[in-house]
């Protein structure tokens, strides 16, 4: 891949994730990780993307929390390597974890409302996310076979 195409890809992923309300830098870091063959250092990411090491560190933490990147500690060093996660399992499991946390919070909210529109709305949203987790589990089950 040419450097120009690589830069364009990284920028387009940054733009896309920014449209999902993630920082543009996070999207750019993710785009770079997707097209980088080997795990890479925060310094190398910062240099290639012309970002501060702090911005890269924040982006990597966000990507790790979403299950989109994996941080690899280096024994005997404070240096970390990072790579994009691959595979359906890691992405769905991270997403399901967030959805389950939301479902639990929403269920707590059910006790705050009387029967009526607010309770119906909460139950609809709970049903949506529970259905998402169930469908994802079915996909994972088929994928693992």
How confident is the prediction for the chain on average, in pLDDT?
91
Would you tell me how many other CB atoms lie within 10 Å of the CB of residue 19? Answer: 10
Amino acid 91: pLDDT: 74
**Residue 87 clears pLDDT 80, i.e. is over it:** no
Name beta bridge partners: 71. 82
User: CB under 8 Å to 53, separation ≥6 — which residues?
Assistant: 42, 43, 46
Amino acid 86: pLDDT: 77
Amino acid 112: pLDDT: 92
**Residue 102 clears pLDDT 80, i.e. is over it:** yes
CA quadruple 83, 87, 93, 95: dihedral, nearest 10: 70
Walk across the sheet containing 40-41 and list its strands.
40-41, 80-84, 69-73
What are the percentages of helix, strand and coil residues in the chain, rounded to 5? Answer: 70, 10, 25
């Amino acid at each position: 891949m040419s450097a120009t195409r690589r830069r364009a890809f990284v920028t387009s992923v940054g733009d896309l994730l920014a449209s999902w309300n993630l920082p543009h830098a996070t999207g750019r870091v993710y785009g770079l990780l997707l097209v980088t063959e080997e795990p890479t250092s925060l310094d190398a990411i910062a240099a290639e993307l012309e970002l501060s090491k702090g911005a890269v560190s924040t982006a990597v933490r966000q990507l790790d929390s979403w299950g989109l990147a994996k941080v690899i500690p280096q024994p005997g060093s404070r240096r970390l390597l990072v790579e994009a996660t691959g595979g359906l399992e890691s992405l769905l499991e991270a997403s399901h974890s967030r959805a389950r946390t939301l479902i639990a919070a929403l269920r707590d909210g059910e006790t705050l409302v009387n029967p009526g529109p607010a309770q119906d709305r909460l139950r609809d949203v709970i049903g949506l996310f529970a259905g998402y987790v169930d469908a994802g589990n079915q996909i994972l089950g088929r994928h693992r076979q």
